């Protein structure tokens, strides 16, 4: 069953190009370990919610934009094995993250419907 790693990240708006460069740099490593695709999205229509929303979730600050991304895996076993190897891969640590990773939200999801 397909599996997704999903992230919601506050990115300084001025760092959009650096964020995309970071994603272009890291994508081959995910694919090397079995990811089928990596998708990055830049917030264009991110409304304020009454109780909660994407901005509140990442404690968005002035001058930042919400980015959402996901890594598609063929199954959870592939994903789990990949992350074990990726966490030891020194190439990932060689590239600075152009965002505040402490406010990044991430989780893994089993795909239960893909229409």
Q: What is the DSSP code string of 22-63?
A: HHHHHHHHHHHTT-SEEEEEE-SS-PPPSS--HHHHTT--TT
Residue 96 pLDDT grade (very low, low, confident, very high; cuts 50, 70, 90): confident
How far apart CA 5 and CA 106 sit, in angstroms, is 7
- Over the chain, what is the mean pLDDT? 94
pTM of the model: 0.91
Taking CA 73 as the corner, what is the angle to CA 87 and CA 110, rounded to the nearest 5 degrees?
Answer: 105
Start-to-end Cα distance in the chain:
14
User: For the segment 4-33, what is each residue's pLDDT rounded down to a tens digit?
Assistant: 999 999 999 999 999 999 999 999 999 999
Strand partners, 6: 70, 107
User: What is the token pair recorded at 100?
Assistant: 């505040």
């Amino acid at each position: 069953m397909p599996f997704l790693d999903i992230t919601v990240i506050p990115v300084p708006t001025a760092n959009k190009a650096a964020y995309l460069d970071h994603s272009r740099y890291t994508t081959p490593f995910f694919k090397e370990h079995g990811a089928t695709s990596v998708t990055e999205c830049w917030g264009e229509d991110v409304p304020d919610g009454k109780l909660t929303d994407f901005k509140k979730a990442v404690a968005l600050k002035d001058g930042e934009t919400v980015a959402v991304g996901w890594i598609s895996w063929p199954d959870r076993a592939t994903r789990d094995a990949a992350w074990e190897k990726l966490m030891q891969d020194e190439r990932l640590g060689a590239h600075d993250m152009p965002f505040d990773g402490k406010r990044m939200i991430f989780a893994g999801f089993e795909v239960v419907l893909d229409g």
